[in-house]
Amino acid sequence: MRAQKKSAPNNERLAEIYRAAAQIILRKGYDATSVNDIANALGMTKAGLYHYINGKKELLFDIMNFGLWELDEEVAAPAKALSDPAARLRFIVDAHARLVTRGQGAITILVDEVTALTPAQQRKITQRKRAYFDFLRGTLDELRAAGKLQDVDTTAATFSLLGMINWLSRWFRQGGALNEEQAAEQIVRIALHGLVREQGVRSQKSVVRMAPPRPR
Amino acid sequence: MRAQKKSAPNNERLAEIYRAAAQIILRKGYDATSVNDIANALGMTKAGLYHYINGKKELLFDIMNFGLWELDEEVAAPAKALSDPAARLRFIVDAHARLVTRGQGAITILVDEVTALTPAQQRKITQRKRAYFDFLRGTLDELRAAGKLQDVDTTAATFSLLGMINWLSRWFRQGGALNEEQAAEQIVRIALHGLVREQGVRSQKSVVRMAPPRPR
DNA sequence: ATAACTACCGACCGGCCGGTCGGTAAAATA
DNA sequence: TATTTTACCGACCGGCCGGTCGGTAGTTAT
């Protein structure tokens, strides 16, 4: 697998290429992005770019894998160290949201361009996505076992969570009204406590409002 | 504007064409869908299809407008009759979610392929989307005024709501574990009350739970 | 009967697409 | 210094793209 094209190209430059390509594809969509677009953005010609990549599909596949690797490193792996499901859920939502707002890391989302891949590539990506999904749903299941989950279907809840988080990439803008931390904090609050305040109950679990107690 | 191509083609057939095109574009994306794809799905040739449409972009534009019209008719307009912001919010989320799950109506989402349009078309669509967004956020503002909104930013909350709802189209499948009503009900619960149950408070506002404990 | 119109189709167009190939200048290696 | 390797580029290819045009069979109007 992975048949190196010709020799071994510089890895740092390759990373630059992935990052640039990911940004463009994220903005315009995979099909609307031509190999020429990517090459030009990097200040080179299409033929030059082909020195580094083996094809448009494989480039997309590699970027997706990189995005999923990032998700694993920064969200799933550290989350697994947390035994309390409530704390783990909070961490996952926060860390995943930050990954998305960080822009560069927004790569994760284009994992949804999966249909553009070959069936074999699709299977691999889908499998990795599935693993993350199951991990997240599993956390919700644990939460239910602890009596701390609202009366919701965990599958629907997991998808909804991912929907909220992934949608971030469409509206969050660097330098906008909310910064990265604030946006993530908002997503956490909405996801965990919803929008409607229960009348007369004062659900005050000491909501520390802004930054202070955030891990990171 | 709208310069009729040649004469006035049959309107019923035109609706069929919009519906078929919307489905394909929704599944494959605008750029990945060729005019030929759409024509073949309708059992005709590309040239034949061009008897009805004035171009690929304009087709997309028309479909988007149709989707937004549907959203207005089935969600925004009836919602405006509800004066209580809490009831209105619940209605909006439920009705919008149902519109998405109804599949055929999922057209709304492809409003996000907006970048494929001409600047003038983009402006029009963005404006209509914005009106809906403002209406939804306004409802949250009213909820805040009534002391019934959690401590969240209404802009972030509105986007998150739309993210959850729009994401539905990616995972909801007809004939899956959840039917249309159940899926909408789940979205409503998650959006309004969040995932985490406040310990020791028993937030039982008599959740009418249809389909015993949990669907699935 | 004939004129007009609707609903298409086959053939074709220029243009951009992903991808290839034979170079080449500069840097690294020997 | 000679040789190999790296990092590209110009030119080119077949193919599909959106879109056009000149038909034509069938229906409707007169």
- Give the model confidence (pLDDT) of B143-189 as tens digits: 999 999 999 999 999 999 999 999 998 899 989 999 999 999 999 99
What share of chain A in percent tops pLDDT 70? 83
Output the CA torsion B67→B68→B69→B70 (10° steps).
50
Count of CB pairs separated by less than 8 Å, A with B: 186
Q: How confident is the model at residue A112 (pLDDT cuts 50, 70, 90)?
A: confident
The closest nt to B34, taking CA to C1', is D17
pLDDT, greater one: B210 or B105: B105
The answer to whether the C-beta of B13 is closer than 7 A to strand C is yes
Nearest to B153 among A162, A178, A192 (CB): A178
The answer to whether the C-beta of B88 is closer than 7 A to strand D is no
What share of chain B in percent tops pLDDT 90? 71
Residue type, B10: N
Can you tell me which residue has its alpha carbon closest to the C1' of nucleotide D19? B55
Q: Give the pTM.
A: 0.86
Question: What's the pLDDT score for residue B199?
Answer: 67
- Cα–Cα distances (Å) from A110 to A18, A31, A149, B22, B210, in that order, read 13, 12, 30, 21, 36
- Cα–Cα distances (Å) from A71 to B88, B93, B116, in that order, read 37, 30, 30
The answer to whether the C-beta of B213 is closer than 7 A to strand C is no
Q: A residues 59-118 near B, CB within 8 Å?
A: 86, 89, 112, 115-116
Mean per-residue pLDDT, B72-92: 97
CA–C1' gap, A75 and D15, in angstroms: 43
DSSP B2-40: ---SSS---HHHHHHHHHHHHHHHHHH-TTT--HHHHHH
Q: How confident is the model at residue B66 (pLDDT cuts 50, 70, 90)?
A: confident
The answer to whether the C-beta of A10 is closer than 7 A to strand C is no
